[in-house]
Structure 1
């Protein structure tokens, strides 16, 4: 199982950063690994998505369930067959000059070969992803 944590101060209000992270369909606009993200069902504070990520010619499709606990937490899980376990948890807290956004990524692939690739790539990919959210928030939400 691979776990990565990151926390950043962002110069934007927590509720607006929450909305940015919750807007999965815009991920391909600013997250380099995301090729597609489409919500196919909504049920109260929960939505379900089809997503596709890719690096070069390699692409993977998967489904997620996202629970929005406004405005402090977002939990993203998947029971897709490629994962043994999958959880991304975002926490948001207001600060004097904006907010602190913390993310925890925790997943295990069924394929040992894919797991080795994830183990090698996840730390830098996660930092890049969190940095992309930070830049997007500070450019668009001030």
Structure 2
């Protein structure tokens, strides 16, 4: 009997030529990301309904000047957002994936503001609560926007998550979280 042999194949990346001096590109912006997990006393459906209601963002989301969905087909949609504060007011469009009650994902497309913008909300049920995983990552096309964003970004992201939580409270009533241990539902 011939013994079986296992082979693992590794791909070796091409080596790049390193230089003695490297200079930062002043026109290139860095990618920025933020993640937050929050437990809310709402159902995943309720949280999903608030996050998926892009047309209402302009009423409760700070720095949102206008928001609307202009094309919706099944779980896919396109949205327009106008955000900012003077003198920085920008617009961008997003391709959205809406899978009720567990996922809202938005990817900015074809605009001059963002090189990349991915926003993702994942909702899952735990006891009579909802665990919300919020992730946002982006890279501006302009290094000026990037530099300004790095100064304020953490506060802006926290404010944004808080605005969605307050919107849930406005629509469904305030429901504080008890300090019991949370175990996933089956």
Please give the range of the TM-score, normalised by the shorter of the 2 chains: over 0.9
Task: Give the deviation of 1:133 after TM superposition.
Answer: 0.6
Kept after mapping to 2: 8 A contact 1:10/1:138: no
Relative contact order (C-alpha < 8 Å, sep 6+): which is higher? 1
Number of residues paired by the alignment? 142
Give every structure 1 segment of 4 or more consecutive aligned residues whose post-TM-superposition deviation is greater than 4 Å: none
- Gap runs ≥5 in structure 2: 1-30, 174-186
Task: Give the deviation of 1:61 after TM superposition.
Answer: 0.8
- Gap runs ≥5 in structure 1: none
Correspondence for 1:14 among 37, 44, 56: 44
RMSD: 1.2
SS of the residue corresponding to residue 57 of structure 2 reads: helix
TM-score, structure 1 normalization = 0.94
Kept after mapping to 2: 8 A contact 1:10/1:137: no
Aligned to 2:161: 130
1:24-68 C-alpha deviation (Å, 9 max, x unpaired)? 010111111111001111121111112101223421111111101
Matched, 1:34 2:64: yes
TM-score, structure 2 normalization = 0.73
Equivalent-residue separation in structure 2 for 1:70 and 1:60 (angstroms): 29
- Greater strand percent: which structure? 1
Shifted more, 88-97 versus 101-110: the winner is: 88-97
